[in-house]
Copies of this chain bind each other. A is one copy, B any other.
Amino acid sequence: MTTRPGPRERLLDAARELTYSQGVQVGVDAILKQADVARRSLYQHFGGKDGLVAEVLRSDGGLDRYRQVMDEAGDDPRERVLAVFDELDAITSQPSFRGCRYTAAELTLTDPGHPAHAEVRAFKEGLHRLMAAELTRHGHPAPDAGADQLLVLIDGVLAHAVTRPGARPALAARALAEAVFASRA
């Protein structure tokens, strides 16, 4: 029998799931109950709900998932990036899809001092670097501006998929992503 993860891991797992399905406004009690963890442990490990929420975003490994999808698509930068949109189409088609966790956090948490905002920023910066690197390898004339376009497409897909169920925004975006790669100096 596998040993049960410690309270810290259980808290992160429970919070990751509940803040996604119920939103960040989910109560601390619900997280504690699902994690089967004492109230005090939360404050011991994360200082409070804000710290827990921020750590959920920080440790989410979203960038790794993007990297993995691209690596499985081979070497060609164009194919690697287009694979991202294929994956987005699969993700946004799942009934459990509830939008991008980072965008949701950014829009829901009004307090500009909330520690989650820094994590969101860090994630988006990393994603931008990821995309810019692919465009650079592809010989894009302006990798930075091109990455901006790809990020807009990704954010657009994730946002649009929530508000218009049934549409397949990732497919629409994929065609535009091809246009980004068609840019010539």
Query: Known: A99-B107, A107-B103, A159-B156. Contact between A149 and B173, CB under 8 A?
Result: yes
Q: Which residues of B contact A55 (CB under 8 A)?
A: none
Query: Known: A157-B152, A176-B149. Contact between A103 and B25, CB under 8 A?
Result: no
- For chain A, residues 104 to 124, give those with C-beta under 8 angstroms from any C-beta of chain B: 104, 106-110, 120-121, 124
The closest CB in chain B to the CB of A153 belongs to B156
Query: DSSP class of A's interface residues: helix, strand, loop or mixed?
Result: helix
Q: Which residues of B contact A172 (CB under 8 A)?
A: 145, 148-149, 152
Q: Give the CA-CA distance A162 to B121 in the complex, in Å.
A: 10
Contact with B along A145-176 (1 / 0, CB 8 A): 10011011111111110111001110011011
Contact A153–B152 (Cβ < 8 Å): yes
Chain A interface size range: 35 or more
Residues of A near any B CB (own CB < 8 A): 21-23, 25, 98-100, 102-104, 106-110, 120-121, 124-125, 128, 145, 148-149, 151-160, 162-164, 167-169, 172-173, 175-176, 179-180
25 interchain pairs (CB within 8 A)?
A: A23-B108, A23-B109, A25-B25, A25-B108, A99-B107, A102-B163, A103-B159, A103-B163, A104-B107, A106-B162, A107-B162, A124-B163, A124-B164, A125-B164, A128-B164, A145-B172, A152-B153, A152-B172, A152-B173, A153-B156, A155-B155, A155-B159, A158-B159, A159-B159, A176-B180
